[in-house]
Structure 1
Amino acid sequence: MPTTTTRRNFQRLALGGAASLGLLGTAVRAAEPSLSERWDQLRASQPRLPARDAARQLGVSEAELLNTRAGGTVTRLRDGSDTAREAMRRVLGLGEIMALTRNENAVIETTGVPRPLPERLTRPAADPAAEAQRQRQLQSVVGYLGGPIDLRTDFSVWHFAFAVVQPGAQGKTSRSLQFFDAQGQAVHKVYLTEASDVAAYERLVAEFSAQASSGPLSVAPVLARPADRPDASVDQPGLQQAWGEITDVHQFSRLLSRFGVERQQAFRLAPAGKAVALQARAVRPLLQEAAARKVALMAFVGNAGVTEIYSGNIDKVQEVGGYFNVLDPKFNLHLRDSAFRSAWLLERGSIHSVEFFDDQGQLAVSFFGVHGRGEPQPAAWVELVRGLPRLAG
């Protein structure tokens, strides 16, 4: 039997060993690289890896990753939709910019000088209903409605904002404003060009900087996409009748809301011939033929917070780096069409369009023919889209 003294010695050894293990565990935890260090290591091995893809590999959002550079190449701006709205209004004073919007499998980049608000939105309307509509548009578009930089915005989604100044290509300095939603996912980015007003940019950053903000971001969890209603529970005759009564393609969103259906569900239940399933990779012949035939088009790429639209002709179309691209001087479109799983040729009213969806069922990109308000689409556009390869059966 061990003596009392021996038992006490064992206890001291045990406590000492536990303390040593505790210190060892603390040392191991302290040696774990920070997120910033892990990003440095990843960039060293993959120097051309985009921040969005780096964030995915590191298990964080893009905004969280960018925030690790705050105080250096990155200036964190004040949070909230009001900041985003007012900052985007100031962008109207920067001169030429490049506007970038993306979703998971499509990126659109348009270069130009954003126009001020349309005159019809700067004057109060006498009719109360028209004035209410004007106020809604003022809250939404902040000057970006038509013109080379054409955006449709929902600022309630915009949350985090950063100004980024860092070395760019060919030794030039890259300056940008980058906006993210509450989940830390990119909503919209504005890049300065050689023709931009750098002094106006610096004043904007100084005005909106969040000097008191530091430390990690508190991002919200990504919400799961709700399941579709069963087709059998949808009023299909009513939906088809409402589809047939469409006179303006903008009425389609009200149809979805009225019948409680998702876009592709509405396409499946549409009147015969009004929604035709295409091959998912039909985006390639669409862009190739539009370029070859000089058929002007409208390209829409969006996410929950903004949709960016390009209107005009395209020229250089090619595959690069796993994307199918339009690479023109003032317009770039990058489509990861290997992730496209469905496509639809749609006829709503007199308007023909094509929509492409990815492997998660999300709308990646859509195309329309360019036409004036109240005018028919060009016959060349209708002929082009009707000739796209259809899905067998």
Structure 2
Amino acid sequence: MGQTTIPSADTIRAARIEHANLRERDLADKLGITEAQLIAAHTGQGVTHIAPHPDNIMQIASQLGEVMALTRNISCVNEKVGSYANYQSGAHAAMVLNDKIDLRMFPAHWRHAFMVEKETDTGLRRSLQVFDAAGDAVHKIFLRDDNHISDWDAAKASAALPDQPTHLKLDERTPPEAAKPNPEKLEVLQSEWSKMTDTHQFMRLTSKLRMNRLGAYRIVGAPFVRPLATSAIDRMLNNVQAAGIQVMVFVGNRGCIQIHTGPIEQLKPMGPWQNVLDPGFNLHLRLDHVAEVYAVDKPTQRGKAVSVEAFDADGALILQVFGVRKEDYDSRPAWRDIVDNLPALELEAAK
């Protein structure tokens, strides 16, 4: 979103009072602004600007006990309850890795951050909220433990930046990269794909061949990728639930990827949304945004990594789901059976 004329801070605050039941993102869209601009308009009224780097955010979060971590893109939301233990900093990528909270963070996209206090029907809700250069949400952390309110207050007092503006200078939104295949390099792609020993090698391979993820999926063919019906993503969630197996669910944006590892126990569809409503884990997926789905098979030293991956109409990755292998548990055979029986794209087209 460019720096066109935006409503005044007073107008934005009045609109939030008038539309108190709207989510921040929906209200921002209604006003033609970004969510970060909506939050910034309340600076001094429950909103405090803080340094956005993950080192700072994680240091605060680690003091707040059990919290709810939220990472989303336009089509999917991943919410996990846990603590921010075992943070590992990095110049280009940072991470939190423990049995509840599993994050990959990319500091270059952590550009604006706030400590937010908002009155709700259940009392004052406290959250750390991080946004990218265009003002879109990267990651949010919600306080859950009242025993840590004094830690929150102390962090807010010490972390507040000298400059506390009610307006933000934002960059234009960068649109999702459309599928970028390179058919001239198809044989090289297939050959190098078969030699992979780690899933992380995939992005280096596609970059070397001047492709991207979706472009490679569209052309590589069997036995590496199978196009699925768009309905396959919902069937997959239902089949995982029925089988009682554990999976890894990756949901992210340019600045953060959040991973759930565990079962899917309770599914509750509501309108266009399919929702996982489990203790400690919620997932909210817009099924009507799913435009392409693929079953993907990548070789690794530990065996084949099989995933189901969904993309929207603009080519943006919505979510990825993998089977789980732990020292005392391996869901991959059951997961492979589920994936192998998902409907192919041609079956959907034939209906």
**TM-score normalized by structure 2?**
0.89
**Aligned AA for 2:41?**
T
Alpha-carbon distance between aligned partners in 2 of 1:206 and 1:38, rounded to the nearest angstrom: 25
Tell me if 1:112 matches 2:82: yes
Q: Call closer, same or farther: CA 1:35–1:228 in 2, change over 3 Å.
A: same
| SS at 1:346 equivalent | strand
| SS at 1:319 equivalent | coil
C-alpha deviation, 1:59, in angstroms: 1.1
Q: Call closer, same or farther: CA 1:251–1:239 in 2, change over 3 Å.
A: same
Alpha-carbon distance between aligned partners in 2 of 1:42 and 1:195, rounded to the nearest angstrom: 26
Matches within 5 A, 1:27-106: 34-38=8-12, 40-41=14-15, 44=18, 46-78=19-51, 80-81=52-53, 84-106=54-76
C-alpha deviation, 1:40, in angstroms: 3.2
**Aligned AA for 2:105?**
T
| SS at 1:265 equivalent | helix
Preserved contact between residue 243 and residue 271 of structure 1 (Cα < 8 Å): no
Q: Call closer, same or farther: CA 1:40–1:186 in 2, change over 3 Å.
A: same
Q: Which has the larger radius of gyration?
A: 1
Unmatched segments (≥5 aa) in structure 1 = 1-31, 122-134
Tell me if 1:386 matches 2:337: no
Q: Which residue of 2 aligns with 1:17?
A: none
Q: Which residue of 2 aligns with 1:150?
A: 102
Alpha-carbon distance between aligned partners in 2 of 1:193 and 1:391, rounded to the nearest angstrom: 43
**Aligned AA for 1:279?**
A
Q: Which residue of 2 aligns with 1:165?
A: 117
Alpha-carbon distance between aligned partners in 2 of 1:59 and 1:179, rounded to the nearest angstrom: 20
Question: Which digits, 9 at most, give the CA deviation of each residue in 1:49-104, with x for residues without a partner?
Answer: 211121112111110111111101211223x53xx422213312221010000101
Q: Which residue of 2 aligns with 1:16?
A: none
Tell me if 1:141 matches 2:99: no
Question: Which digits, 9 at most, give the CA deviation of each residue in 1:282-307, with x for residues without a partner?
Answer: 22111111112101111000000010
Which of 131, 141, 155 is the matching residue for 1:190?
141
C-alpha deviation, 1:273, in angstroms: 2.5
Alpha-carbon distance between aligned partners in 2 of 1:226 and 1:346, rounded to the nearest angstrom: 20
Tell me if 1:357 matches 2:311: yes
Alpha-carbon distance between aligned partners in 2 of 1:43 and 1:53, rounded to the nearest angstrom: 14
**Aligned AA for 2:27?**
A
Q: Which residue of 1 aligns with 2:280?
A: 330
**Aligned AA for 2:8?**
S
Tell me if 1:178 matches 2:178: no
**Aligned AA for 2:29?**
R
Unmatched segments (≥5 aa) in structure 2 = 1-5
C-alpha deviation, 1:271, in angstroms: 4.3
Matches within 5 A, 1:173-322: 173-194=124-145, 197-226=148-177, 228-229=179-180, 231-232=182-183, 234-322=184-272
Alpha-carbon distance between aligned partners in 1 of 2:147 and 2:273, rounded to the nearest angstrom: 29
Q: CA RMSD in A?
A: 2.4
Q: Which residue of 1 aligns with 2:3?
A: none
**Aligned AA for 1:392?**
E
**TM-score normalized by structure 1?**
0.80
C-alpha deviation, 1:168, in angstroms: 2.7
Alpha-carbon distance between aligned partners in 1 of 2:92 and 2:152, rounded to the nearest angstrom: 22
**Aligned AA for 1:363?**
L
Preserved contact between residue 240 and residue 269 of structure 1 (Cα < 8 Å): no
C-alpha deviation, 1:34, in angstroms: 3.3
Preserved contact between residue 181 and residue 218 of structure 2 (Cα < 8 Å): no
Q: Which residue of 2 aligns with 1:6?
A: none
Preserved contact between residue 342 and residue 356 of structure 1 (Cα < 8 Å): yes
Identity %: 32
Alpha-carbon distance between aligned partners in 1 of 2:21 and 2:161, rounded to the nearest angstrom: 30
Question: Which digits, 9 at most, give the CA deviation of each residue in 1:209-255, with x for residues without a partner?
Answer: 124322311011112445555634x4111111011111222221111
Dislocated runs of 4+, deviation >3 Å: 32-36, 38-43, 224-232, 373-377
Preserved contact between residue 193 and residue 298 of structure 2 (Cα < 8 Å): yes
Instruction: Pick the structure with more helix per residue.
Output: 1
Preserved contact between residue 35 and residue 137 of structure 2 (Cα < 8 Å): yes
